[in-house]
Amino acid sequence: MTVSAEEARRFFVARHFLVPARSVAGGLDGVLEVFRRFGSIQFDPVAVAGRNHDLVLHARVAGYERAWCDVLYERREIFEATNKALSFVPADEFPWFRHVMGRKGPRFHNAALADNAAVAEKVLARIRAEGPLSSADFERETGPTKDWFGMPENAVRAVLEAYTVTGVIGLARRDGNVRYYDLLERLLPAELLAHEVPEREQLRHKLLSRYRAHGLLAAGGAGGTFARIANPPERRDLHKELVAVGALVPVEVEGVRGKRFVLAEELALLQAPPEPKPSVAFIAPFDSLLWDTALLASLFEFEHVWEGFFPPARRRWGYYVLPIVFGDRFVGRIEPRIDRDWARVEVLDVWWEDGFAPRRADGFVDAMRDALRAYLRFAGADRLEWAPHLAAEKRLFPARP
C-alpha cells in the first residue's frame, strides 16, 4: 500500500486524537480511551510546564484535569511499568508486562537479591507487616551491589527495585518523586495476577505496544523505541510474526525512506484520513508523536531535538519546550512555565518555523488563543505573562481561562 505525504500527515495527527486537539470527551473514560489507543504513556516527574503524561492527555482530552490520571492510578486501573521508559499502562495489560528488564536486566536484579539476602528479607518482612513503604522508611544499608558508576549502592534501594523486577512488589503510590512499594497481591486483582502469559508472547505484545503508541514506525523503530525488548535478532522475528498474523501492515509513504507499519485496525483511517481542523496543540517532550525524529523531518519538515539534557550554552531553543501542532503541521515551539504560587503561566519564548506567519495562517490566531486558554485552565492559572521580547505575541494572543 502506498500513500501520499499529505495522507500520511493527516492520518498521523488524526490517530493521535489531534483532529482537532482536545477532542476526546472529558473525564476518566476519555483518559482511558487514550491509554487504550496508545497502550502506554511515558511518565516523567518534571513539572515545570506540566508532567509529561498530563501534557499528553491535555492535548487530547477535553478539559483534562491532572487529578484524573491520579484517580485512575489510585483505583489500579493504570499501573507503572517500563515500556521504552517508565510509563503508565492499563492495568488489564499487566499479564503482558510481567517480564521486566529493570535498569540492568533480570540477572543483575536476581543477583542483587542474593547478594543482599539479609536486607531483602528485612525489607520484605516490613512491607508485608506495615503496608506501603519507601526507601526513606529504612536506614541506608551497604552491600556488594554497585551503581552505574561502580560505587556502593544503597542495598535497600537495590532490593526494592529487584523485588519489583521479579514481580514480588509493585508501586503503590507516589508522593512527589518518592515511591512507595507494596506486595503485588495487594495492588492488583487476584484474577489478573493469576493470568499467565508466555514470555515470548509478552515480548511480542510489548513490541506491538510501541507501534500502538506511535502509529507509523519503521521495522527498526527509532532511537530507543524498542529498548528492553529482547535482542535485535529476536525483535526482527517478533516483528515478522506481527506482520504474518496481520497485526501490522506495511505501507510506503511518499518522500519517506523505507517501509512503515500501521496497525491493521487503523488501515481505514489511513485510506481516508479526515481534513485537518484549525486547532492548536502543545506537544509534550516525550509524547510518542515525537519519537521518530527522522519521520518528523521527512514528513513534516520539522526538526525535533529535546534540549532538556543539554547545557544552556548548547540550546537553540530552551530547557522545556513544547512543539506546536496546527492542523496537520508543526508550526513552532513554545516554552511555558507554570508558576503555581502566583497562579500564572509565564511564556519565556516562542519560535515560529521558517515561513510561518501566525497572522496569515487561516484560523491560527483563534486556534492559538483557544489552546492558550485551555492551557491556563490545565495549569490552574488565571493569567498569562509574556517575556518582554514577545510583545507582538502578547498583543496577538490575549488569553484568559
pLDDT (0 to 100) of residue 389: 97
Q: Smallest Cα–Cα separation from 262: which of 298, 325, 210?
A: 210
The mean pLDDT of 24-29, rounded to a whole number, is: 96
In this structure, are residues 286 and 224 in contact, taking their beta carbons and an 8 Å threshold? no
Instruction: Return the minimum-mean-pLDDT range out of 94-98, 100-104, 302-306.
Output: 100-104
Q: What is the sign of the dihedral through the CA atoms of 62, 211, 329 and 5?
A: negative
Nearest-angstrom CA–CA distance, 50 and 381: 12
Q: What does 105-164 look like in DSSP terms, one character per residue? A: -HHHHHHHHHHTHHHHHHHHHHHHHH--B-GGGS-----S-B-TTSSBP-HHHHHHHHHH
pLDDT (0 to 100) of residue 148: 57
pLDDT digits (tens, 9 = 90+) for 130-160: 999 999 999 998 877 766 566 677 889 889 9
pLDDT digits (tens, 9 = 90+) for 102-135: 556 667 778 889 989 999 999 999 999 999 999 9
Q: Position of cell 507494596?
A: 182
The mean pLDDT of 234-251, rounded to a whole number, is: 97
* Size of the chain in residues: 401
The mean pLDDT of 273-280, rounded to a whole number, is: 95
pLDDT digits (tens, 9 = 90+) for 190-214: 999 999 999 999 999 999 999 999 9
The mean pLDDT of 14-35, rounded to a whole number, is: 97
Please state the pTM of the whole predicted model. Answer: 0.92
> And the C-alpha cell for 215?
502509529
Q: Mean pLDDT of all residues in the chain?
A: 92
**CA angle at 288 for the pair 204 and 164, rounded to the nearest 5°:** 55
